[in-house]
Copies of this chain bind each other. A is one copy, B any other.
Amino acid sequence: MTDKTYPVIEVFGPTIQGEGAMAGRPTHFIRMGGCDYRCHWCDTDIAVLPEKVREEQTRLTAVEIVNQIQDLPKGPKWVTISGGNPALHQLDLLVIDLHRNQFKVAVETQGSMWKPWLNLVDQLTISPKPPSSKMNTAKNLQLFEGFMGLMMTQYPMGARVCLKIPVFDEVDYEHAIGIHQQWSQIPFYFSVVTKMGGLYGDFSGGEIDTRDTLLDRYKWLAERVAGDARAGDTVAIPQLHALIWGHGRGF
């Protein structure tokens, strides 16, 4: 059982979480390979496109992953498991091993597929994808409703869960508000989409965001949220990691 291996793309840290409820908090990261989505502006195709995942992955057991975390410089109390979509995998052993090593565990997933092991984690960020992802939004909303229904009825996680929706434009914003209104009891974070070419290259028209274009988009979002009574008690935070380091591997 413990020699089961997982497709790991990167293990890195210490760094900070750039978005959502954990924004600014020191953490290590485990990036799992494999994804059921193909978001147009995805910034980690190495964890998404099957040929790249095959090329980039290292198959590691839970114990080997935790050993790699322990070999990183000390600092963060948190380990964040992201992807790709980590909920594609059965990661209960990994979470238990991280807890055994005194780490708190955060997970980021798009909320397309519930797994009972998600109930073990200390912070679950559910990040449904907006229309600018150019995915089938209606179908993805159905998957999200299924995920939320299971979580709320069978695995109520209380304060350990939040919603985080990346927003590029007004269409995305209205989509996000709709989800917030439906799940208003759950802490809600707006994030800002970063243009960096995209998986399929044409989303950005070849443009790559700079600090200034990112902050201008955040300015629009912050003013939109602040002036909208429907946004109520939500939070709007830019991608702090993109502002600090730009986009690339290892952060």
What's the nearest-Cβ distance from chain B to residue A239, in Å?
Answer: 12
Measured CB to CB, the closest approach of chain B to A72, in angstroms, equals: 10
| Alpha-carbon distance A226/B90, docked complex (angstroms) | 29
Contact B76 A13, beta carbon cutoff 8 Å: no
Known: A215-B243, A227-B75, A238-B240. A23 touches B23 (CB 8 A): yes
Given the interface contacts A243-B215, A244-B218, does A24 sit within 8 Å of B237 by beta carbon?
yes
Pair A212/B215 contact, Cβ less than 8 Å: no
> Which of chain B's residues have a CB closer than 8 A to the CB of A238?
240, 243
A52 at the interface (CB under 8 A from B): no
Binding site secondary structure of chain A = mixed
Q: Is A176 at the interface (CB under 8 A from chain B)?
A: no
Q: Within the complex, which residue of B75, B190, B229 is in contact with A226, where a contact is CB–CB below 8 Å? A: B75
**Contact call A240/B211, Cβ cutoff below 8 A:** no
Residues of B within 8 Å of A233, CB to CB, are 25-26, 77-78, 104
Once A232-B77, A244-B215 are accepted as A-B contacts, the answer to whether A225 and B23 lie under 8 Å apart by CB is no
Chain B residues with CB under 8 A of A240 = 218, 222, 237-238
Chain B positions within 8 Å of A55 at CB level: none
- Let me know if A25 and B234 touch, CB within 8 A: yes
- B23 with A234: CB separation less than 8 A: no
The 0/1 profile, CB within 8 Å of B marked 1, for residues 208-244 of chain A is: 0001100100110010011111011111111010011
Q: Is A73 an interface residue (CB 8 A)?
A: yes
A53 at interface by CB-CB < 8 Å: no
Q: Which residues of chain A (169-222) have a CB below 8 Å from chain B?
A: 189-190, 211-212, 215, 218-219, 222
What is A's interface to B at a CB cutoff of 8 Å?
A: 13-16, 23-27, 73-78, 104, 189-190, 211-212, 215, 218-219, 222, 225-229, 231-238, 240, 243-245
Given contacts A23-B235, A24-B190, A76-B226, 10 further A-B contacts (CB under 8 A): A14-B226, A14-B227, A15-B222, A24-B235, A24-B237, A73-B227, A211-B211, A215-B244, A237-B240, A243-B243
Identify 18 residue pairs between A and B in the complex whose beta-carbon atoms are under 8 Å apart, listed by A's number: A13-B226, A14-B227, A23-B235, A24-B236, A24-B237, A26-B225, A26-B234, A26-B236, A75-B227, A75-B231, A104-B233, A211-B215, A215-B244, A219-B244, A222-B240, A222-B244, A237-B240, A238-B243
